[in-house]
């Protein structure tokens, strides 16, 4: 499967947020978007998913224009920056709803053993983020958007999540943004840089240096 | 079944508000049409509030399940009306 996003124009309060975006991602690859704070990375993922409605957008799957919000195709999962799961639901319910495997989860993260009946809101911020990433990554979908998946995670969990992303990519289109620049460079098969609401394809670190995203 | 659970979980967060409003309407002996219109107004208000504030983030969970926003709020309204009428019938049967 091939996902293409272009012709996106998003304005907010007279300010241009997105204009001049082109992004292509295919199954079996990890596509990463880098950019400074406020460059429009999260907005682009929200527009692509269907969470916010821009003035214009073109989202195509295998060349076919998708007129409805992408989430309505039931092919996509989206991890936003902030916590989004209902706090009053138990982990058991959440794993049932996402059709995620609890046994596999506690094998990867043994600290959760015996917590299946706990409510989501009773977990720490880092634990909540782990549950969210696991559910989004492993539930049935063809496209996964991850907005800053490594934020709020301990380094040891960052490694585990990076490994999971690598494993899941064989069956999915994965598009992610994060400020953990080294991890993103390590994971990504292709990289876009977002600047002033527009994307440009990045081939190496020199391109990032030239654009001013990194200094050395 | 999964869709029903999702709609119920969405509705649960409004349940206490809904019961409180119903109790107030019963106290003032409001006619059925007023109860129905009040519930419709509250559903539209909830939809507007969730779409126009930071609460919109909560809809991402349901969108991840492929549920459309109108289906979510429409089903919530129907569920709320059914539960309200059941509650009213129970009250009338007792008193």
Residue of A183, A192, A179, A208 whose CA lies nearest to A20: A192
Which residues, in sequence order, are CB contacts of B74 under 8 Å at separation 6+?
none
Give, for A27, the enclosing helix (H) or strand (E).
Answer: none
Which residues, in sequence order, are CB contacts of A55 under 8 Å at separation 6+?
A9, A10, A11
Note the pLDDT of residue A38.
87
Closest-approach residue (CA) in chain A for B65: A74
What's the domain count of chain B?
1
What is the sign, positive or negative, of the torsion defined by CA atoms of B5, A133, A167, A142?
positive
Checking if the pLDDT of A215 tops 80, the result is: no
Which residues, in sequence order, are CB contacts of B20 under 8 Å at separation 6+?
none
Q: Is A51 on the interface with B (CB under 8 A)?
A: yes
Return the SS3 of A79: strand
* Arithmetic mean of pLDDT, A146-172: 91
Return the SS3 of A134: helix
Contacts of B60 in chain A (CB under 8 A): 49, 51, 78, 80, 84
Range(s) of the domain holding residue B26? 2-94
Residue of B86, B94, B73 whose CA lies nearest to B13: B73
Shortest alpha-carbon distance between residue A76 and chain B (Å): 7
Q: Is A35 on the interface with B (CB under 8 A)?
A: no
pLDDT digits (tens, 9 = 90+) for B27-67: 888 888 998 999 999 999 999 998 888 888 889 999 999 99
First to last CA, chain B: 36
* Arithmetic mean of pLDDT, A20-40: 92
Q: Do A51 and B59 touch (CB under 8 A)?
A: yes
Which residue out of B2, B16, B52, B63 would a mutagenesis test of the A interface target, given it has the greatest number of A Cβ atoms within 10 Å?
B63
Percent of chain B beyond pLDDT 90?
A: 51
Residue of A52, A45, A41 whose CA lies nearest to A12: A52
Q: Is the ipTM of this complex over 0.95?
A: no
Q: Do B64 and A74 touch (CB under 8 A)?
A: no
In the numeric block, the tokens 């994965």 are attached to A174
Note the pLDDT of residue A75.
95
* Summary mean pLDDT of chain B: 90
Task: State the burial class of residue A178 (Cβ atoms within 10 Å of its Cβ: 0-12, 13-18, 19+).
Answer: buried
Q: Do A97 and B5 touch (CB under 8 A)?
A: yes
Q: Do B60 and A80 touch (CB under 8 A)?
A: yes
Three-state SS annotation for A85-103: CCCCCEHHHHHHHHCCCHH
**CB of A72 within 8 A of CB of B66?**
yes
Percent of chain A beyond pLDDT 70?
A: 100
Note the pLDDT of residue B65.
94
Which residues, in sequence order, are CB contacts of A126 under 8 Å at separation 6+?
A152, A153, A154, A157
Which residues, in sequence order, are CB contacts of A211 under 8 Å at separation 6+?
A193, A195, A200, A202
For chain A, list the domains and their CATH numbers: 2-207 (3.40.50.300)
Shortest alpha-carbon distance between residue A79 and chain B (Å): 8
Return the SS3 of A28: coil
Note the pLDDT of residue A216.
67
């Amino acid at each position: 499967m091939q996902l293409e996003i272009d012709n996106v124009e998003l304005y907010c309060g007279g300010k241009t947020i997105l204009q001049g975006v082109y992004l292509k991602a295919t199954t079996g690859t990890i596509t990463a978007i880098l950019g400074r704070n406020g460059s429009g990375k999260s907005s682009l993922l929200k527009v692509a998913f269907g969470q916010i409605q821009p003035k214009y957008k073109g989202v195509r799957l295998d060349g076919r224009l998708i007129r409805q919000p992408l989430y309505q195709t039931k092919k996509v999962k989206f991890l936003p920056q902030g916590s989004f799961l209902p706090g009053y639901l138990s982990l058991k319910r959440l794993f049932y709803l996402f059709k995620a495997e609890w046994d596999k989860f506690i094998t990867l993260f043994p600290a959760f053993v015996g917590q299946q009946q706990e409510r989501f809101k009773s977990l720490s911020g880092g634990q909540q983020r782990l549950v969210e990433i696991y559910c989004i990554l492993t539930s049935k979908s063809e496209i996964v958007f991850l907005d800053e998946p490594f934020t709020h995670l301990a380094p040891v969990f960052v490694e585990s999540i990076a490994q999971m992303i690598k494993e899941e990519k064989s069956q999915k289109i994965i598009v992610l943004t994060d400020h953990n620049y080294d991890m993103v460079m390590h994971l990504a098969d292709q990289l876009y840089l977002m600047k002033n609401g527009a994307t440009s394809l990045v081939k190496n670190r020199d391109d990032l240096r030239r654009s001013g995203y990194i200094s050395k | 079944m999964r869709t029903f659970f999702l709609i119920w979980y969405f509705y649960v967060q409004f349940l206490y508000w809904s019961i409180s409003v119903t109790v107030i309407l019963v106290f003032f002996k409001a006619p059925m049409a007023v109860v129905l219109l009040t519930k419709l107004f509250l559903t539209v208000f909830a939809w507007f509030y969730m779409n126009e504030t930071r609460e919109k983030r909560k809809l991402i969970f349901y969108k991840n399940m492929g549920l459309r926003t109108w289906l979510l709020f429409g089903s919530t309204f129907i569920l709320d009306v059914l539960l309200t009428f059941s509650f009213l019938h129970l009250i009338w049967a007792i008193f």
